[in-house]
Structure 1
Amino acid sequence: MSEQSLDPHAFRRALGNFATGITVVTAQNTQGERIGLTVNSFNSVSLDPPLILWSLDKRSADSLDVIRDAGHFAINVLAADQLDLSNQFARPQKDKFAGVEFSTGAGGSPLLDQCAASFQCALHQEVDAGDHWILLGRVLAFDDFGRAPLLYHQGAYSLVIPHPRVAQRPESTPEDEALQGRLANNLLYLMLQAVNAYQSAYLPKQQSLGLSVSESRLLILLSSRPGADTNALALDSALPGSEIREALDNLKSAGLVCDVGPGFSLTEQGRKRAREYWALSEQEQSQVFADFSSEQIAQFKEILNRVIKNA
């Protein structure tokens, strides 16, 4: 298609084939006026000096004025469970920061809580580019929180899941095959391999919802055992105490868990998130055991329960 005949809607859809992350760009000027914009045009430019860029619609002149006055802005890379936050900053409203937890970064730029990463930037350069301004920022500081990111593809929110080919096994040798033959009769080895195979597909999907493995495990446990204390959670989760305490602190900070006497319970938001994890778990279980009859599954459960009871 030639440049003269470009259909803007078709062009936008073609661009949508490039999956992006989602950020909220924030800034605060010297008068204390804050702006927050949902942006998916963020990209890296240079390591030395450390530069990033994003583009701003020229119809957002007021936002550009705030950024120019501040001389700084922050890039908040949203985590997979921050879809509502993306929508909040994408919609025009009087106070986009209402109910939003944040701290203050370089130049007064708001740093949103619970993100996947954040970059504190000084305004480095403005480039006039068609109906947008391209803004380059020099990174002054950054934080990497290691959370699964929220993605955007073809006009819809998406989640990241590792490609299955990255986990392919190397070709086996005759010695490997001989070892596999001996191990094939070892029940403990087979159970561990089954768990590993199950988790290799399931855990990336679970983590794509935004919580770590330990956080999601405690969330699911507390949905079934409200009021459980750390000892009960340690027994059921098979997690070390230090990891349980850290996960509980993170869940409480996110507003998903609250203290109830000596134990812990889910908040309303926590119960909502737990239902998402239960739905994913049941969906994965249905897929993995789709080729087995209900009788085989019942027998499998009976065997597992007997092993647990007799261990």
Structure 2
Amino acid sequence: MSETSLDPHAFRRALGNFATGITVVTAQSAEGERIGLTVNSFNSVSLDPPLVLWSLDKRSADSMALIRSAGHFAINVLAADQLDLSNQFARPQKDKFNGVEFSEGMGKAPLLDACAANFQCELHQEIDAGDHWILLGRVLAFDDHGRAPLLYYQGAYSLVTPHPRVAQRPESTEEDEALQGRLGNNLLYLMLQAVNAYQSAYLPKQQALGLSISEARLLILLSSRPGADANALALDSALPGSEIREGLDNLKLSGLVCDAGPGFCLTEQGRKRAREYWALSEQEQSQVFADYNSDQIEQFKEILNRIIRNA
């Protein structure tokens, strides 16, 4: 199709085949006026110097004027569980920051909490590009929180899922088979291999729901043991104390966990999220054990419980 005959709606639909992450670009003027814009045009440009870009519709002249005045902006890469934040900053409203937790970064640009990543930028260059401005930012600081990102594809929110070919195991060699023959009678080895095989398929799906592995584990434990303190969670989760503290802080920051005396409990939102994780866990369990009858599964549970009790 030639440029002169481009249908703008068809063109937008074709562009939608390129899945993108979702960011909220924020800035604050010297007078304290803040802006927040949901943007999926974010991209990297250069490592040396560290440059990133995003584009702004020319109809947003007031936002452009504020960014020029501020000289700085922040790019907040949304995590998979921040769909509501994306919608909040995408809609026109008087105070988009109402109820939003954030801190101030360089140039007082708001840094949204619990994101996948935050980039603090200095306005580096403006490029006039059709009906948009392309804004290049020089990255002055960043935080990588390692959370699964929220994606946008064909006009709908999406999540990261692993490609099935990535999870395939390579073909075994004769040497591998010989080693497997020697290890095949070692129960500890078999149990570890079984856990690794289970997790290789399950954990990417769990992470796609938005929480880190440790945060999800704590959420599930608290749904079964409300009021558990850090010591009890350490025993049940097998996580180091630093991960438990960080995980609980992140869960509280996200409004999923609250203090309950010496222990912790899920909020109503936390209980809702926990049900999502339980549903995923039960779905995965059903798939993995689909070829075993109920008696075999009960016997397997009994063996595992005996090992746990006698450890």
Look up the match of 1:155: 155
* 1:21 lines up with 2:21 in the alignment: yes
Quote the offset at 1:259 in angstroms: 1.8
User: Secondary structure of 1:138's partner?
Assistant: strand
Look up the match of 1:227: 227
Paired with 1:241 and 1:113, the residues of 2 have a C-alpha distance of 22
Give the TM-score, by structure 1 length: 0.93
Paired with 1:272 and 1:192, the residues of 2 have a C-alpha distance of 32
User: Secondary structure of 2:188's partner?
Assistant: helix
Paired with 2:92 and 2:195, the residues of 1 have a C-alpha distance of 47
Paired with 2:65 and 2:215, the residues of 1 have a C-alpha distance of 41
Look up the match of 2:261: 261
* 1:216 lines up with 2:203 in the alignment: no
Paired with 1:26 and 1:141, the residues of 2 have a C-alpha distance of 15
The answer as to whether partners of 2:167 and 2:201 remain within 8 angstroms in 1 is no
Quote the offset at 1:186 in angstroms: 2.5
User: Which moves more between the two structures, 280-289 or 39-48?
Assistant: 280-289
Quote the offset at 1:53 in angstroms: 0.9
Look up the match of 1:105: 105
Structure 1: segments with no counterpart, 5+ residues:
none
How far does the alpha carbon of each residue in 1:77-104 deviate from its partner, in whole angstroms, 9 at most, with x for none? 1111111111110111110000111111
User: Secondary structure of 2:93's partner?
Assistant: coil
Structure 2: segments with no counterpart, 5+ residues:
none
User: Secondary structure of 2:283's partner?
Assistant: helix
Paired with 1:187 and 1:91, the residues of 2 have a C-alpha distance of 57
User: Secondary structure of 1:165's partner?
Assistant: coil
Look up the match of 2:44: 44
Q: What letter corresponds to residue 126 of structure 1 in structure 2? A: E
How far does the alpha carbon of each residue in 1:168-194 deviate from its partner, in whole angstroms, 9 at most, with x for none? 545534332112012222232222211
* 1:125 lines up with 2:137 in the alignment: no
Paired with 2:112 and 2:308, the residues of 1 have a C-alpha distance of 44
* 1:192 lines up with 2:192 in the alignment: yes
Look up the match of 1:90: 90
Look up the match of 1:65: 65
The answer as to whether partners of 2:77 and 2:115 remain within 8 angstroms in 1 is yes
Paired with 1:293 and 1:219, the residues of 2 have a C-alpha distance of 30
User: Which moves more between the two structures, 139-148 or 76-85?
Assistant: 139-148
Give the TM-score, by structure 2 length: 0.93
User: Which moves more between the two structures, 106-115 or 238-247?
Assistant: 238-247
Quote the offset at 1:164 in angstroms: 3.9
Quote the offset at 1:141 in angstroms: 1.7
Look up the match of 1:237: 237
User: Secondary structure of 1:134's partner?
Assistant: strand
Paired with 2:126 and 2:242, the residues of 1 have a C-alpha distance of 47
**How many residues align structurally?**
311
Paired with 1:55 and 1:243, the residues of 2 have a C-alpha distance of 37
Quote the offset at 1:167 in angstroms: 4.7
